[in-house]
Amino acid sequence: MDQYLILAYSLAILTYYLGVLIYAIPIPWWGIKKWAPTLIYDALAASLLVLMFSTIVELVNYLGSLLNVDWQAYFEWLTSRIAIMGSFISFLVTLSLMLSSAGVKAVSTAVLGPIISLATYTLIVLEIFFILGLVFNQFFAKIMIIGILLYSIPFRIARGAGAALVAMSIVFTLALPLLPVFTHAFTIQGTEERILEITEKMGKVNVEEWGIVFVKGHVTDRKGKPVNNILTKWFALLKQGEVYVASYVTLENGWFDAGRPYGGLPYNVMLKLKAEYCGIELTPEPRIIDPHTDFTYNPLKDPNADYFVEIKIKDMITISKYFFVKSNSNEALNTLKITKGGDLVNLKFTISKPATITLVIHKEYNVDKVIVNSTKTIRYSKIKNWGGVSFQIYEVFLNEGTWVLSVRANFQRNVKDPKITDKGYLETISKNIGDFEELGKVIANAVFEWIVLPGTYLSILIMSTYSLAYAIGGRKIRLPIKT
């Protein structure tokens, strides 16, 4: 850098001698003579800048310490937001692609398209400020030297540009690192946390890697009777554990719909299935599902689903609506004989070893009594609340032999259905990032905090640079040639 300072000082001396030479011209050409004091002044000003270069650099560093200028904090502020926004855009693009493949491309384009664009513009602005920071943090002195060199060229050919570079190096080095302080004064707290929350939730479901398949499933009890309103919960099996991906409720005739447009299940990972009915965890078969082998391909059977799966709940038998028997003994369930007559239901078991029988009955049936072998009356052991409805749980331990459980209740009445909702695979992904209105608010806050405020601050720095450049460079001299 020293050679450039020497060159600038040499140009300043040249400018001085040119001014003296013009003074000494014997021809009274006043248009040219007016340049003499200007050149001498410019030579002295350029020399002063050259000689005070080190002093100016130290003064800028001193003022920076007084203003608590911290370039590391500035870059950390930017890199954290660049990383957040980059991950956010990646997940939004993935979601958009999956929604398009699910047949809702119009929604994806109309809603997610503008949000992705705004997020991309925000990322570009943050990266521009990051580059500006690198330039002025690393090349502050070099920029000032180039400015002094241009400032020293005779006849003010590049004086304005030189003054602008000197002013810019000073203003941006002192003020640019204070951008986080400026934005913090006007920000709405929580934008970063909300975006991180969205991306973290999205990160738990790797849609792009796991793939998607649209399925319809049929759920039956041990005897092949369809089970309505049973909740099937699906989990992806990963090395780090289980990850919830979707849940589906069976409707008419025991069918659940994981089809288009918001259903689906992962296709490239092993799945674990759990089943819940009337608040009781049950054992489905199969429990561990390989989509490539356990899903049956049939694109012509249903337009919304390409694959089908049969699921049997092996530890329960339904007696009537919201009344079923559960047991840990296959023998007990295999030998069960059911007889119904009016308000009385008899359940006959023949077992060769002890077993536990669990009866689950909707509370609104108003069970009168449960009798074992017409002699012993038992009461319910607990009440489960599921979907806003209460269910009475009767647990009976039976030794080997033949047993009859008699249940007397008002089974003819209509009972309230529990309110159980399902969440499709694609719907789960959408819910993970929140509704579109909330997503729009998050992006709007990010645009204000990371585009509008930095842009305003940059405008302030540019105007300050212009003012300082005018003070350093002075007013422009017109060419002294008259016609």
Read off the CATH number of the domain in which 274 is found: 2.60.40.1120
Tell me whether residue 416 is in a domain: no
Where is average pLDDT lowest: 364-378, 401-415, 421-435, 455-469?
421-435
Same domain, 238 and 195: no
CATH code, 379: 2.60.40
DSSP per-residue letters across 226-274: B-TTPEEEEEEEETTEEEEEEEEE--GGGEEEE-TTT--B-SSS-EEEE
Say if CB 295 and CB 213 are below 8 A apart: yes
pLDDT at residue 177, rounded to an integer: 96
pLDDT at residue 110, rounded to an integer: 66
Two structure tokens written together for 207 = 């849609």
pLDDT at residue 229, rounded to an integer: 93
Same domain, 181 and 219: no
Tell me whether residue 438 is in a domain: no
Tell me whether residue 482 is in a domain: no
Question: CB-hemisphere CA count at 13 Å for 428?
Answer: 27
Tell me whether residue 249 is in a domain: yes
pLDDT at residue 99, rounded to an integer: 62
- Using pLDDT thresholds of 50, 70 and 90, give the confidence band for residue 479: very low
Same domain, 216 and 229: yes
- Using pLDDT thresholds of 50, 70 and 90, give the confidence band for residue 153: very high
Q: pLDDT for 362-396, tens place per residue?
A: 999 999 889 999 888 888 989 999 999 999 999 99
pLDDT score of 206 more than 80: no
* 189 DSSP assignment: T
Domain that includes residue 261, residue range: 207-316+423-432
List helix spans (H) across 102-223: 105-107, 113-151, 159-175, 179-184, 191-203, 207-210
Say if CB 149 and CB 50 are below 8 A apart: no
Tell me the mean pLDDT in the region 306-322: 93
- Using pLDDT thresholds of 50, 70 and 90, give the confidence band for residue 361: very high
- Using pLDDT thresholds of 50, 70 and 90, give the confidence band for residue 188: low
Structurally, the chain folds into a number of domains equal to 3
Same domain, 128 and 23: yes
Same domain, 76 and 162: yes
pLDDT at residue 304, rounded to an integer: 76
Say if CB 365 and CB 340 are below 8 A apart: no
SS3 24: helix
pLDDT at residue 230, rounded to an integer: 96
pLDDT at residue 98, rounded to an integer: 64
Say if CB 323 and CB 412 are below 8 A apart: no
pLDDT at residue 477, rounded to an integer: 52
* Residue carrying the six token digits 């199969």: 286
Say if CB 121 and CB 112 are below 8 A apart: no
Same domain, 169 and 260: no
Tell me whether residue 349 is in a domain: yes
For residue 425, give the H/E element and its range: helix 425-432
**Looking at the DSSP assignment, which residues form a beta bridge with residue 403?**
349
Residues above pLDDT 90, as percent of the chain? 59
List Cβ<8 Å contacts ≥24 apart for 287-295.
288/237, 291/213, 291/265, 291/266, 291/267, 292/267, 295/213, 295/215
Tell me whether residue 417 is in a domain: no
* 421 DSSP assignment: -
Same domain, 122 and 253: no
- Using pLDDT thresholds of 50, 70 and 90, give the confidence band for residue 481: very low
How many Å apart are CA 55 and CA 49, to the nearest integer? 9
pLDDT at residue 189, rounded to an integer: 65
Tell me whether residue 294 is in a domain: yes
- Using pLDDT thresholds of 50, 70 and 90, give the confidence band for residue 65: very high
pLDDT score of 288 more than 50: yes
Same domain, 42 and 152: yes
Q: Of residues 197 and 106, which shows the higher confidence score?
A: 197
Q: pLDDT for 118-136, tens place per residue?
A: 889 999 999 999 999 999 9
Same domain, 103 and 8: yes
Q: pLDDT for 34-45, tens place per residue?
A: 888 889 999 999
Which of these, 115, 117, 126, lies nearest to 76 by C-alpha position? 126
pLDDT score of 205 more than 70: no
Q: Which amino acid is at 52?
A: M
Tell me whether residue 480 is in a domain: no
Same domain, 214 and 196: no
Mean pLDDT of the chain: 87
Same domain, 26 and 137: yes
- H helices, E strands: number in the chain: 16, 20
Same domain, 230 and 303: yes
